[in-house]
């Protein structure tokens, strides 16, 4: 039996008014694998512990199969939790560790059949008589998972179960977790700060920052249509290129986004999304380009929707199956303050204006629910007096993924074709404005 889990406006406030989860609303379908993703300290483990009943809910309501569970004891929720640090009893063998919760639930029953069946499922039959000190990290985590699986719970709650393992073992166990949860069909809530785990495991991914839900959707959706610049930059390897730009939309000429020394020309006829950028005329925006949205090729090979810029090779990272090339295009990278921080910097408190309209107050509240502005485009400070010409070197501002067989050297000038169909544009607060958040119908279709 599996179950649905719903959180409605759930908040967690600790001593001195520290709010670590803020009005989280999320519904998890029976049998769904949902990943809570975000930087360390953003509140995702607290959400998991509130679902398990290990933390009290300060505000809001938790529903299990449609029934309120705020006051339900952890033992009555029929959930199994897998912790980051394995949490095995050192004085018990693997067999006893797996069977311990079964003996607690049914003192008179023999746990051996379920322990043996679980061990076969996980391939740890030969480890049952060993103690935790005699096991490797991966073996301990398998035993910890076996303890959860043997209970036949209605939901699995996994709190960064692979973070203490080496990369190779992490990849192997990740595939095992995906296989097991798919076969068992049990609702699973999985906490991680590793976007590779989130993208490969989850049916849906919920991105948190500062205790505020930024976006929830399938891995493909949050990658292809990030709601804001934080989601765009947090998901994807290498990180998305973020460049400062200005929209130029003359009535008698082509529409462009100026990137400083170069500009992205938007191909005509303009798409619906690009037409709506006209309202940003003269405004500074942030342009987002994934590394695969740019390719190294001559202008003569341009495909429909591609526009030409050039770049100077700054550095080449050889990855074996591919190369990451760092270019200097003369653009100004957009600096995102504290992008890796779990929550944005606190802003000075402001007294509420009594003369403000209801709409103004609603807008102010909506801004706070986004966990504050992600990006502030301030003018950069004046540079120090220029050193000798030989020492002047602009940093790379664009990373492009390419094949490893290209012979690229530092200082080479290379033509770059940008696919503007995969162009993201964010406003000064980091909210996505292109593609438009709510797509409009194409009247020409």
Instruction: Report pLDDT digits (tens) over 240-273.
Output: 999 999 999 888 888 999 998 899 999 888 888 8
Integer angstrom CA distances of residue 109 from 100, 101, 103, 115, 116: 12, 12, 7, 12, 14
Same domain, 239 and 297: yes
Mark whether 310 and 221 lie in a shared domain.
no
92: containing domain:
5-227
Give the total number of structural domains in the chain. 2
How sure is the predictor about 316, in pLDDT bands with cuts at 50, 70 and 90? very high
CATH number at residue 144: 3.40.50.300
DSSP string, 292-343: GGEEE--GGGPPTTEEEEEEEEEEEEE-SS-EEEEEE-S-EEPP-TTTTSSS
CA–CA distance, 57 with 265 (Å, rounded to integer): 51
The answer to whether residues 284 and 163 belong to one domain is no
pLDDT in tens, 142-187: 898 888 888 889 999 999 988 877 777 788 888 888 888 888 899 9
80, 192: one domain:
yes
- Choosing from 182, 203, 227, the residue where a domain stops is 227
Residue 404, in any domain of the structure: yes
Tokens 């998901």 locate to 235
% of the chain at pLDDT higher than 90: 53
Residues 249 and 327 in one domain: yes
Do residue 144 and residue 243 come from a single domain?
Answer: no
How are strands ordered across the β-sheet holding 19-28? Answer: 19-28, 5-13, 59-64, 67-68
Q: Would you say residue 357 lies in a domain? A: no
148 in a domain, yes or no? yes
Say yes or no: 123 and 222 in one domain: yes
Mark whether 81 and 13 lie in a shared domain: yes
Q: Which of 193, 227, 261 is the endpoint of a domain?
A: 227
At residue 348 the predicted structure's pLDDT band, cuts being 50, 70 and 90, is very low
Is residue 103 included in any domain, yes or no?
A: yes
| Residue 69 reports pLDDT greater than 50 | yes
- Same domain? For 279 and 324 the reply is yes
Domain boundary among 227, 254, 278: 227
For residue range 193-247, what is the model confidence (pLDDT) as tens digits? 999 899 999 999 999 999 999 999 999 999 999 999 999 999 998 999 999 999 9
- Same domain for 336 and 295: yes
């Amino acid at each position: 039996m599996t179950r649905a889990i719903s959180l409605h406006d759930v908040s967690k406030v600790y001593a001195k008014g520290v709010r670590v989860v803020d009005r989280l609303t999320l519904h998890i379908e029976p049998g769904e694998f949902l990943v809570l993703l975000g930087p360390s300290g953003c509140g995702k483990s607290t959400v998991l512990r509130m679902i398990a009943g290990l933390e009290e809910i300060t505000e809001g309501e938790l529903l299990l199969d449609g029934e309120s569970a705020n006051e339900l004891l952890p033992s009555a929720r029929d959930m199994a939790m897998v912790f980051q640090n394995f949490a095995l009893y050192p004085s018990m063998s693997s067999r006893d560790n797996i069977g311990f919760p079964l003996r607690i639930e049914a003192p008179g029953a023999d746990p051996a059949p379920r322990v043996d069946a679980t061990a076969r499922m996980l391939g740890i039959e030969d480890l049952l008589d060993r103690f935790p000190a005699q096991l490797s990290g991966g073996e301990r985590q398998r035993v910890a998972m076996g303890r959860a699986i043997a209970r036949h719970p209605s939901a699995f709650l996994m709190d960064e179960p692979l973070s203490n393992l080496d990369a190779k073992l992490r990849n192997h166990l990740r595939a095992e977790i995906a296989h097991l949860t798919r076969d068992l069909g049990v609702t699973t809530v999985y906490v991680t700060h590793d976007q590779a785990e989130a993208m490969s495991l989850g049916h849906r991914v919920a991105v948190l920052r500062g205790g505020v839900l930024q976006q929830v959707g399938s891995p493909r959706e949050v990658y292809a249509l990030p709601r804001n610049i934080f989601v765009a930059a947090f998901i994807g390897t290498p990180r998305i290129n973020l460049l400062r730009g200005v929209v130029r939309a003359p009535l008698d000429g082509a529409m462009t986004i100026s990137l400083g020394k170069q500009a992205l020309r938007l191909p005509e006829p303009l798409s619906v999304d690009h037409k709506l950028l006209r309202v940003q005329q003269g405004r500074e925006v942030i342009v987002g380009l994934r590394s695969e949205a740019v390719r190294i090729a001559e202008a003569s090979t341009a495909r429909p929707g591609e526009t030409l810029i050039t770049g100077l090779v700054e550095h080449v990272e050889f990855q074996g199956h591919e190369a990451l090339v760092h270019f200097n295009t003369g653009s100004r990278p957009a600096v995102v303050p504290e992008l890796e921080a779990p929550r944005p910097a606190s802003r000075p408190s402001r007294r509420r204006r009594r003369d403000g309209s209801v709409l103004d107050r609603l807008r102010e509240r909506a801004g706070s629910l986004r966990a504050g502005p992600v990006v502030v485009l301030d003018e950069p400070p004046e540079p120090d007096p220029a050193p000798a010409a030989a020492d002047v070197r602009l940093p790379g501002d664009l990373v492009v993924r390419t094949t490893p067989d290209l012979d690229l050297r530092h200082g080479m000038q290379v033509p770059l074709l940008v696919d503007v169909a995969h162009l993201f544009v964010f406003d000064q607060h980091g909210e996505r404005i292109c593609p438009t958040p709510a797509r409009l119908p194409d009247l020409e279709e």
